Structure 1
Amino acid sequence: MKKLTKSSTDKKWDGVLGGLSEYLNVDPTLIRLIFVILTIVSFGLGGVIAYVIAMFIMPEDQGESSN
Structure 2
Amino acid sequence: MINRLKRSDDKVVAGVCAGLAEYYGWDKSKVRLIYALLSIFSAGFPGLLVYIILWFVMPNF
Normalising by the residue count of structure 1, what TM-score does the alignment of the two structures yield?
0.84
Specify the code of the residue in structure 2 equivalent to 1:2: N
CA distance in 2, matches of 1:32, 1:15: 10
SS in 1 for 2:11: coil
Specify the code of the residue in structure 1 equivalent to 2:3: K
The CA RMSD over aligned residues, in Å, is 0.8
**Structure 1 runs of 4+ with >3 Å offset:** none
Specify the code of the residue in structure 2 equivalent to 1:13: V
Map 1:1-67 → 2, pairs under 5 A: 1-8=2-9, 10-61=10-61
Question: Number of aligned pairs?
Answer: 60
The answer for the alignment partner of 1:64 in structure 2 is: none
CA distance in 1, matches of 2:48, 2:38: 10
Q: Which runs of 5+ in 2 are unaligned?
A: none
Normalising by the residue count of structure 2, what TM-score does the alignment of the two structures yield?
0.91
Q: Which runs of 5+ in 1 are unaligned?
A: 62-67
More helix, by proportion: 2
